[in-house]
Amino acid sequence: MWLGCSAAQYHAAADKETYGILDARRAQILGETNKVRIDANRTARAPEDINGTEVILDRYQGGQRVLTLAQAMDVAVRQNRTYQFNREKLYLQALALTGTRHQFALKFTSASLEAGVDRSATTSDTTVGGDASATLKKLLETGGQLSATLANDLVFFFDGTKPKVPSIVLSLTQPLLRGAGADIAAEVLTQAERDVVYEIRTFSHYQKQFAVDIVRDYYGLLRQGENIHQYYTNYQSRILFRREMETRVRAGLSAEFEREQALESEYRAKLDYIRTVETYQNQLDDYKQQLSLPLGEKVGLDRSLLARLESSGLPPVLFDDQAGYRMAITNRLDVINQIDKLEDSKRKVRVARNDLKPGLAIVADMELKDQFYSSFSPDKYRASVGLKLDLPLDKLSERNALRQSEINFERQLRTLATTLDQLRDEVRQGLRNLDRQGQNYTTQLAALENARRNLLATQLRLRAGFQGVRTSDIITAQDALLRAQLAVTTAVVDYHTSRLNLLKDVGILQTVGEDFWLRDAQGPRLPAAGGAALPQQEVVPPDQILGP
């Protein structure tokens, strides 16, 4: 124990080997050179140096900041607890591979040293000595095993007895039937290597979904913030309208109940505004928790981003469901995992079939022992070679394992088919949803303009004394304008969010780089202004949808 390495050295050795695997595999699979590291802020500190009080104070702190979406993304990647869990999961999968590789490495499996002093009370003889032994083993990828054992008798007598030459035992076992062959013997290593590949793909797909979630929730907060402005403006307009009605009542132009209607409308607008503020604050607290920020910290958002979304219009996607499905099969990493897992299940069937074979192995060993330095002769060794046949009469477990592997293969086949069907369904639904969101946006823009004109015309008719124009007509027009304003903001946010989701589902969303949420699928940045909305389209008659 005194000669052993420190815990810090073992920590560093594990990180070096594990990160080496991850960096190499990620470069091969994804072509990415950015490195995944799981080090947290407190990783370098010993656990005993961290106490609960420190955590309490950390979560209690306040402060104030304005977070752009890029900054929010950076904070989320560094601090989000679920993201860190998935990053650690990737690390642990590669760490497990180092253990599997070690099984096939040439290594010492045991070593021991004993030393002592023995004195006889009857003869007064004193014996000083001990024993040392070490065993070196290696699993061969052909299914065999090679081992070497060195044992040394360290007994020295004070009467001049010479020490023995260390004993050496070499042995080799190589299966010929059951367990023979690189594809069978190294299956555990093959699966461990492939599991790391799967986890790298899974984490990369998770990163894209995580990025879309961060953008979506940021957009949602911007929309809710805009709702606050709309509700507040509506509340102020209701106050002005109530004052106008009070003036009209005093002038005898309107009845008393119309003033009461205006006052009731003002109260409703006030309560709507208060409720919207509360909703925004709750959503902002949820977002802080998503970023692992202390809830006491005041956070502001980049409101100019919403204006950039609106000015950029509705960038289209330039593929149909069939082309999107082809791209998804090629680019969706989680789908590629399912395709490769079918090959895993096929290999498991071959391994299970091999386990049904009888055991036949070549067994060879060589032994050199019981020699002294004074009379050493290298010819005095013992060697043997032979065949070992194992004919187990009970094959029930192996039989059941074979049937289970065959059923697992059939299940994986069905799982792959289901995954592909679901993938195409996601692409088709995503395109339909994006089209609906685009048409919804253009329709809401037209509805907003109509609501503005209707409110203005109703106000002018009321002030001009037109017959049949009532206070309730103004209130209805104000409500319609508010709904239209809210709907336009919701529509533009929903379109951009749906578009990001669709690009992610197809597998062509690139989340690396600045402002990926404002780039199209091919990479160039969208213009900051001047974007056009989709043209208004006529609805499709039912016969064209349902058929004759």
pLDDT at 2: 43
DSSP annotation string for 257-276 = HHHHHHHHHHHHHHHHHHHH
Closest among 111, 112, 109, 194 to 145, alpha carbons compared = 109
CB atoms within 10 A of CB 251: 8
Q: What is the pTM of this model?
A: 0.82
Closest among 411, 420, 406, 409 to 336, alpha carbons compared = 420
pLDDT at 377: 65
Average model confidence (pLDDT) across the chain: 84
pLDDT at 42: 53
pLDDT at 226: 94
Task: From residue 135, give the alpha-carbon distance in Å to each of 106, 150, 180, 460.
Answer: 11, 6, 24, 100
Under a CB-based contact definition with an 8 Å cutoff, are residues 359 and 388 in contact?
yes
> Hey, what's the torsion of the CAs at 471, 474, 477, 478, to 10 degrees?
-110
Would you call 304 exposed, middle or buried from its count of C-beta atoms within 10 A (0-12, 13-18, 19+)?
exposed
pLDDT at 374: 54
Which residues of the chain carry a pLDDT beneath 70?
1-5, 40-49, 51-60, 62, 110-131, 152-165, 370-379, 520-541, 543-548
Task: Determine the Cα–Cα distance for residues 174 and 181; give it in Å rounded to an integer.
Answer: 10
